[in-house]
């Protein structure tokens, strides 16, 4: 087993990150990350570029994705690692999710228009690379337009259930998303389990369903986890005999609270998802 600095959950401009795949890979390498997974929301479109740069500069790139799922009326995220990014089944189903996203973005635009905020769809689309529109793009547009001081405020006041720009969506089914990842040769990880506002029993139920569907790991270390979350998720990983993963969920270099390459190490008593991976350490060129 290699002892590398891993970050197995990050975003680029292919979804709602602010760095291009190339810039992301370069920044990660400069920050001391040795194994980086690019896991954009519902798309694989950044992987080719990321892989080319990673090969050139000498950093290990894990092709990945973060799939949006609806389970028990809540949005859950499933990260796929080492997916074959040319897998037809995965690509076709991600295409469908992005079509649903496009419909939702138009709906959000209509709702904002009724609320006195004009051209939000066009504004959010212009901030995306045209491939995928996320609520994050709406948040950035509203900040630019002076409707809020930060993205968090936009989410709180406009983009969550009960607020004027919220549109209910049925994402992929848990079992389907895990299956697409497995069929694409990948490993499925339950992303940031600490973030879901489930009661303990519901979280255990989710993990049980996830594992039955073919999921193999929990994200133990995530920048959205408190230490309490982390301790709880480690216990659950042990109880369910699941592997453990680690990811920053990096989106934006301007968010100074999250610096690349500074995540805590996985606790010693976890079985890492990379236990059977074979990466070499590069010396940065
Ligand atoms: P979507 O998948 O389009 O519904 O958007 C979800 C994305 O919005 C997440 O991946 C986060 O990057 C971002 N997000 C969710 N909640 C917040 C929040 N409270 N503040 C800032 N960004 C958020
Ligand atoms: Mn995001
Ligand atoms: Mn997520
Ligand atoms: Mn993410």
Please report whether residue 68 resides in a domain: yes
CA of 128 to the centre of ligand 2 (A): 12
Are 53 and 190 in a shared domain?
A: yes
CATH of the domain at 144: 1.10.150.650
CA of 141 to the centre of ligand 1 (A): 14
Confirm or reject: Cβ of 16 under 6 Å from ligand 1: yes
Strand 74-81 with 6-7, pairing: unpaired
Please report whether residue 164 resides in a domain: no
Residues of the chain with pLDDT under 70: 1-2, 256-258, 282-285
Please report whether residue 81 resides in a domain: yes
Residues of the domain holding 207: 6-94+170-276
Are 232 and 178 in a shared domain?
A: yes
Residue positions counted in the chain:
285
Q: What's the pTM?
A: 0.97
Are 110 and 241 in a shared domain?
A: no
Please report whether residue 226 resides in a domain: yes
CATH of the domain at 242: 3.20.20.140
Ligand closest to the CA atom of residue 195: 3
Confirm or reject: Cβ of 68 under 6 Å from ligand 1: yes
Are 177 and 270 in a shared domain?
A: yes
CA of 1 to the centre of ligand 2 (A): 30
Atom of ligand 1 lying closest to residue 68 CA: 2
Q: What pLDDT is stored for residue 256 in this prediction?
A: 60
Confirm or reject: Cβ of 251 under 6 Å from ligand 1: yes
Are 190 and 130 in a shared domain?
A: no
Confirm or reject: Cβ of 7 under 6 Å from ligand 1: no
What gap in Å lies between CA 48 and CA 34, rounded to an integer? 18
Q: What pLDDT is stored for residue 1 in this prediction?
A: 47
Closest residue CA from atom 18 of ligand 1: 152
Residue pair 37/46 in contact (Cβ under 8 Å)? The answer is no
Listed in sequence order, the residues at least 6 apart from 12 whose beta carbon sits closer than 8 Å to its beta carbon are 19, 20, 21, 23, 24, 38, 40, 46, 50
Ligand closest to the CA atom of residue 250: 4
Confirm or reject: Cβ of 155 under 6 Å from ligand 1: yes
List the structure tokens of 111. 């709702």
Are 107 and 90 in a shared domain?
A: no
Confirm or reject: Cβ of 45 under 6 Å from ligand 1: no
Please give the share of the chain, as a percent, with pLDDT higher than 70: 96
Mapped onto helix, strand or coil, the DSSP state of residue 216 is: coil
Closest residue CA from atom 12 of ligand 1: 136
Are 47 and 113 in a shared domain?
A: no
Are 186 and 62 in a shared domain?
A: yes
Mapped onto helix, strand or coil, the DSSP state of residue 107 is: helix
CA of 11 to the centre of ligand 4 (A): 6
Confirm or reject: Cβ of 11 under 6 Å from ligand 1: no
Please report whether residue 239 resides in a domain: yes
Confirm or reject: Cβ of 137 under 6 Å from ligand 1: no
Are 175 and 260 in a shared domain?
A: yes
Give the total number of structural domains in the chain: 2
Judged by phi (left if over 0) then psi (alpha if -120 to 50, else beta), residue 134 lies in beta
């Amino acid at each position: 087993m290699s002892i590398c600095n891993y970050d197995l959950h990050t975003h680029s401009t292919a979804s709602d990150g602010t760095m291009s795949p190339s810039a992301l890979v370069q920044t990660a390498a400069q920050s001391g990350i040795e194994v980086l997974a690019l896991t954009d929301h519902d798309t694989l479109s950044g992987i080719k570029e990321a892989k080319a740069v990673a090969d050139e500069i000498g950093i290990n790139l894990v092709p990945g994705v973060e799939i949006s799922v609806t389970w028990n009326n809540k949005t859950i995220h499933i990260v796929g690692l080492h997916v074959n990014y040319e897998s037809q089944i995965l690509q076709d189903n991600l295409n469908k999710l992005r079509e649903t996203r496009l419909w939702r973005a138009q709906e959000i635009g209509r709702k904002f228009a009724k609320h006195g905020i004009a051209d939000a769809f066009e504004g959010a689309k212009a901030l995306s690379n045209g491939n995928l529109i996320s609520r994050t793009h709406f948040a950035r547009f509203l900040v630019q337009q002076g409707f809020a001081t930060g993205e968090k405020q936009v989410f709180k006041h406009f983009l969550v259930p009960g607020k004027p720009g919220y549109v209910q969506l049925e994402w992929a089914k848990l079992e389907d998303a895990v299956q697409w990842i497995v069929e694409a040769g990948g490993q499925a990880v339950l992303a940031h389990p600490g973030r879901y506002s489930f009661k303990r029993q519901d979280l255990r139920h989710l993990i049980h369903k996830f594992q039955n569907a073919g999921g193999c790991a929990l994200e133990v270390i995530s920048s959205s986890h408190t230490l309490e979350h982390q301790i709880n998720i480690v216990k659950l990983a042990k109880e369910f005999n699941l592997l453990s993963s680690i990811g920053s969920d990096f989106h934006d270099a301007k968010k100074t609270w999250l610096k690349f390459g500074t995540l805590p190490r996985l606790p010693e008593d976890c079985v890492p998802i990379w236990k059977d991976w074979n990466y070499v350490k590069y010396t940065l060129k």
